[in-house]
Structure 1
Amino acid sequence: MTKKPFILTLFIILLFNTAITYSQELKLSNLFCDNMVLQRGTEVPVWGVAAPKEKIRVKFAGQSVTTRTGKNGKWMVVLAPMEASKTPREMTISGKKEIVFSNVVVGEVWICSGQSNMQFSVSNAPEVDALLSSAKNIRSFEVKRTVSFKEEDNVSGKWKDVPPSSAVAFGFAYFLEKAEDIPIGIIHASWGSSSLEAWMPRDMADEFPYFKDIMNDLDADTETRNRINKALSSGEERTTKEDIFMRRQPNILYNAMMKPLAPYACRGLVWYQGERNTRYYSGVPMVNEDNWYHRVIGMKEYGDVLQSWVKRYRKEWKNKKMHFSVVMLPGYGKGTNNNPDIDSKSPTAMSWAWMRESQQKVLDLPYTSVVNTIDLGDETDVHPKDKLPIGKRLALLAQKHTLNKDIVAEGPVLDQVKAQDNGLVIYFNNAKGLKTIDQKDPRGFWIADESMQWHMAGAKIVGETVVLSNDAIKNPVYVRYAFAGKPDVNLANAADLPAYPFRTDNEIPTDE
């Protein structure tokens, strides 16, 4: 007598759950909505959910593509590559019901991500703010700043027919649009004081033991997890203190703000991040209540982790040619957590120079670029306002490296060093029209012999080379250029693009 009611109850539960599954309405990722920009010249995935086995049809720009949902209700179709178009069109998605998105255009789509200097608003950068009145054909998707302990399928936000809030992202979009005269779409996903680790997929723990330790500790930290869940449940009411606490955790920004963006078709990702990882030169520091948020990798290892991060994102987007444009950290006068007060002009001080060197390791990978900011920044402000040149240089790099334009997009880059008499001759790539921006002799060069005692070098431009010497050094061997926290530099090429910092020695710092 007791068995039949149990079976009947179980049957009703199963029937109810099945009904819920099969009544799932047609929905798309939030990335697909009115005002969206689709990437030109490549296949464009479109995806969402509906009832299992439901037939889905997507129509856009003369294309009609169909599929059926899987058992889990998920579906995806792929539109064939399209040419850029400023003409607004409708996208129709139909199943048991029909959804129509209006004002859809095709152009160049970029994700702009990182920490506070990417989040830095247009209104706080006067030169960038002045461009708003002449901006056109720029649209944006602002990703809601939140976290999650699991990888999310959807993201909060919507496309708007307005420029992004980020000064760097808007400047980039503005100059790219002016050059190409096509729609530019920016997906802006940044959060101040976030580390590289905050944007790392959990499975990168398989490659980096330090990240595995951090994630294991987060899993076991019930107090932290409860605190974050409580902050999330309070929604917009959460305090700034709780906001900071969440965004300085590992992995959980990726889960909520980046994972759901894949595989939205885009040309690439602009990455302006690194400040959080400059507090130590090497390794992951032990932490206490005062510096718990510093438990991230240091400057030395950052470049290796960044390379793997790029590869992992390309895997997520299923796009081996997805371009990554990294914004080099600009000039800044502070040192590390252990030694913050440094000589910002010294080539040996523990400064952001070591992070810039690490960031440039990304160039070992194909389809990457680094925006040189060595002539920018602020001695005392970690949030400098000179964001306009960054946007210009990002646009130049995008034109050259992703749109195959025959332009000069980088400043002089070290090619080789040769000994000459009692000096050294520096040869560069991208050195046509080599000059100084103030018509004075080049500054920022230091040389050393085998003793590794560094001396400021006298420098002269000879053709497309720079000749270095110092009477105190008979046989100079090594060179460091602009290798300081806030170097004084003036070397550029005919395109007014600054020379990239470099060093030719293998010496490792000792003041950590």
Structure 2
Amino acid sequence: MHRNEIHNQGKMMKTSLALGLLIAVLVPSTAIAELQLGSLFTDHMVLQRDAPVPVWGTADPGATVTVKFAGQEKTANVQTDGKWMIQLDPLSASFEPQTMTATSNLNSTIENQQCADVLVGEVWICSGQSNMQFGVDAVPEVKALIPQTKNIRNFTVKRSVALTEQERCEGQWVDRYPDSAVAFGFAHFLQASADTPVGIILSCWGSTSIEAWMPRDMTETVPHFKVMMEEFDANTEAQAEINAILSGPQPWSGKEDIFLRRQSNIIYNAMMHPLAPYACRGLVWYQGERNTQSMHGMVKEPWFSRNSGMRIYGDVLKQWMQRYRQQWNQDDLHFLVVMLPGYGNVLKTSPNVPRDNPAAHSWAWMRESQLKALELPHTSVANTIDLGDIKNVHPKDKLPIGRRLALLAARDTLGQKVEAQGPVFQKVETQDNSLVVHFEHAEGLKTTDGSPPKAFWLADDDQKWVRADAMIQGQSVVLQSAELAKPLYVRYAFVGKPDVNLVNDANLPALPFRTDRFEP
């Protein structure tokens, strides 16, 4: 054969091969893609009761997927991107294990997936940083609950990051309590109160800021987050390091682990985005310590302190909650916020006052921000002002937190008539040289030690705070000080680690508050 003929035949063969490959890409294959359920749909899972339950996954485009569970049968067509979703009608709580079956059918080729030992009850996501991660074995009082535990299941999301939003995460449902003292305590008391199975989805990582758990599109509504992500995108060295860690050996070194978890957005991508829209009652959020490193945020050094800061955190928290509700398509997704407990640290920016003075730049300002969550519906804040450790950012008194969270959930999501919070500031009145503070949730107002109420401070317009003499009068507290002829303002428990004793009949502590609007 002539050299030119051989050359032309070779070109024709290459062209034919390329055309075949192009057709293979453009024309849907008749081969069945593996039917796959979303990451959270595994054996031993708990489904949310009394609410629509989305079930989703992937399969071959054009296939029909049928899901059967608890007498229901729902069908959906697989979209061109291979995704499908059905929605089960609201389910009744059930301790009886059931099986969910998903079937795909394309051109008479059938594939099945099953999830066995499925219960229906209350499902909560528990998220945040190290105090949510804090283990059961480190808290004897919580560990002692294990023999009494029943009907609690857990899905722990493997800690990881991703530069883009992921559809899947690693983890599986297990018939066991979560290894988080707060999450387990909450689940234990909630299960007893609701008398229904409880499922906990644990997705937490120490040292994380709220910005680590924020989707990228929040740059459109949170100005400082926009700056953070612009800086992140410009930092090609950091991105290269992230990719190198993810593709390198595991487990990561401690240095690598810390580097990853102190980034913004990429934890949301890997550890929260894949969870939506799994039906759940709400989200328990124990986070904030990472955002206490400045008052107003976006300090230059160290790099991991470039975040909201304490004064901005409250507004960011509200926007974050609203964005998650959009992600779950659930306007009543309930948020249970754990207030940061007592801790004695103050910032370098603090005025020259003792750290137990309410003018100090302490965690009191973060607690005020966290309480802004209550400005939104379907939110609760667990008061921890009587807990904590003046020197340790990881206190061990986690049992009361779990109990208080369960009380709030029982009242605010289950409709139970229980006292779930301590005295709450209602109003203040001037009475001669005294101020009278009136409280709600103050039935049986008392102190834990029989002494006069502690941790009240007074000031006038000179902003010099002095300790108040306090006396209980019914459901009110009367305050005065020999140092002030005309006190105008009150701050209560407004220091890093307050010494408090004011409670109601349910022995729940009074919420911290201030009546002034002085800016730090």
List aligned pairs for 1:429-508, cutoff 5 A.
429-508=440-519
Could you tell me how far apart the structure 2 residues matched to 1:460 and 1:124 are?
A: 39
Alignment partner, residue 26 of structure 1: 35
Counterpart of 1:102 in structure 2 is 116
Q: 1:284 aligns with which of 269, 281, 298?
A: 298
Q: Distance in 2 between the 1:218 and 1:115 partners?
A: 21
2: CA distance, partners of 1:108 / 1:92: 21
Aligned equivalent of 1:11: 19
2:170 corresponds to = 156
Q: 1:115 aligns with which of 129, 132, 150?
A: 129
> Secondary structure of 2:435's match?
strand
CA deviations over 1:181-225 (Å, ceiling 9, x no partner): 110000000000000110010001111222112111211212111
What SS class does the counterpart of residue 97 from structure 1 fall into?
strand
Shift of 1:22: 4.8
**CA distance, structure 2, for counterparts of residue 383 and residue 342 of structure 1:** 25
Q: Residues 72-83 of structure 1: matches in 2 within 5 Å? A: 72-83=81-92
SS at structure 2 position matched to 1:426: strand
Once the two structures are aligned, what percentage of the paired residues are identical? 54
Structure 2 residue aligned with 1:322: 333
Matches within 5 A, 1:38-77: 38-77=47-86
TM superposition shift of 1:285:
0.7
Relative to the length of structure 1, the TM-score reads 0.97
SS of residue in 2 equivalent to 1:497:
coil
**Partners of 2:358 and 2:393 in 1: CA distance:** 20
Residue of structure 1 aligned with 2:226, choices 195, 209, 212: 212
Q: 1:293 & 1:249 partners in 2: Cα distance? A: 7
Write the distance in 2 (CA, Å) between the matches of 1:62 and 1:143.
Answer: 30
**Structure 1 range deviating more: 351-360 or 467-476:** 467-476
Report the residue type matching 1:403 in the other structure.
Answer: L
The separation in 2 between residues aligned to 1:24 and 1:337, in whole angstroms, is 58
Unpaired runs of 5+ residues, structure 2, are 1-7, 105-109
Q: Output the amino acid matched with 1:396.
A: L
Equivalent residue, structure 2, for 1:191: 205
The residue type paired with residue 18 of structure 2 is L
Cα distance in structure 2, aligned partners of 1:265 and 1:341: 50
1:163 deviates by 0.4
Measured after TM superposition, the shift of residue 238 of structure 1 is: 1.7
Aligned residues: 506
What SS class does the counterpart of residue 321 from structure 2 fall into?
Answer: helix
User: Structure 1, residues 68-123: CA drift from partner, whole Å, max 9, x if none?
Assistant: 10111100000000111111011111112111111000000000000000000001
Contact 2:122 2:197 in 1 (8 A): yes
Contact 1:21-1:52 at 8 Å conserved across structures: no
CA contact (8 A) 2:453 2:470 kept: yes
* CA–CA distance in structure 1, aligned partners of residues 70 and 417 of structure 2: 31
User: What does residue 245 of structure 1 align with?
Assistant: 259
Q: CA deviation at 1:11?
A: 2.6
Which stretch has the larger CA shift, 209-218 or 38-47? 209-218
Q: Which moved more, 1:444-453 or 1:146-155?
A: 444-453
Aligned to 1:167: 181
Say which is worse superposed, 444-453 or 69-78, in terms of deviation.
Answer: 444-453
Residue pair 1:24, 1:51 contacting (<8 A) in 2 also: yes
2:347 maps to which of 336, 348, 371: 336
Structure 1 residues 8 and 208, CA, compared in 2 at 3 Å: closer, same or farther? same
SS in 2 for 1:182: coil
User: What's the CA shift for 1:30?
Assistant: 1.4
User: For 2:99 and 2:348, how far apart are their aligned partners in 1?
Assistant: 53
Displacement of 1:339: 5.4
Amino acid at match of 2:73: S
Contact 1:335 1:341 in 2 (8 A): no
Are 2:248 and 1:234 aligned? yes
- How far apart are the structure 2 equivalents of 1:344 and 1:82? 52
What aligned pairs does 1:355-434 form with structure 2 within 5 A after superposition?
355-434=366-445
Match of 2:288 in 1: 274
Find the aligned partners of 1:305 and 1:372 in 2 and give their Cα distance. 20
SS of 1:237 mapped into structure 2: coil
- Could you say if the C-alpha distance between residues 448 and 50 of structure 1 is closer, same or farther in structure 2, counting changes exceeding 3 Å? same
Structure 1, unaligned runs of 5 or more = none
Q: How many Å apart are 1:157 and its aligned residue? A: 0.4
What is the aligned partner in structure 2 of residue 305 from structure 1?
A: 316
Higher Cα radius of gyration: 2
In the TM superposition, what is the alpha-carbon distance from 1:450 to its structure 2 partner? 2.1
Q: Deviations over 1:402-436 (max 9, x none)?
A: 11111111111000000112101110110111011
SS at match of 1:419: strand
| C-alpha deviation, 1:230, in angstroms | 1.2
Partners of 2:200 and 2:77 lie apart in 1 by 31
Q: Which amino acid aligns with 1:362?
A: A
1:201 partner amino acid:
P
Determine the C-alpha separation between the residues in 1 that align with 2:30 and 2:135.
43
Measured at CA, do residues 63 and 235 of structure 1 come closer, stay the same or move farther in structure 2, by a change above 3 Å? farther
Q: Structure 1 residues 361-370 or 338-347, which shifts more?
A: 338-347
User: For residue 71 of structure 1, what is the amino acid of its counterpart?
Assistant: T
Aligned AA (1:392): R
Q: Deviations over 1:141-196 (max 9, x none)?
A: 00000000000011110000000011000000000011111100000000000001
Structure 2 letter corresponding to 1:70: Q
Name the Cα RMSD after superposition: 1.5
CA separation in 2, counterparts of 1:166 and 1:342? 37
1:264 corresponds to: 278
Q: TM-score with structure 2 length normalisation? A: 0.95
Alpha-carbon separation, structure 1, partners of 2:249 and 2:501: 49
Query: Is residue 167–residue 387 contact of structure 1 (8 Å, CA) maintained in 2?
Result: yes
Q: Give the drift of 1:236.
A: 2.2
Amino acid at match of 1:64: E
Residue type of the partner of 1:472?
E
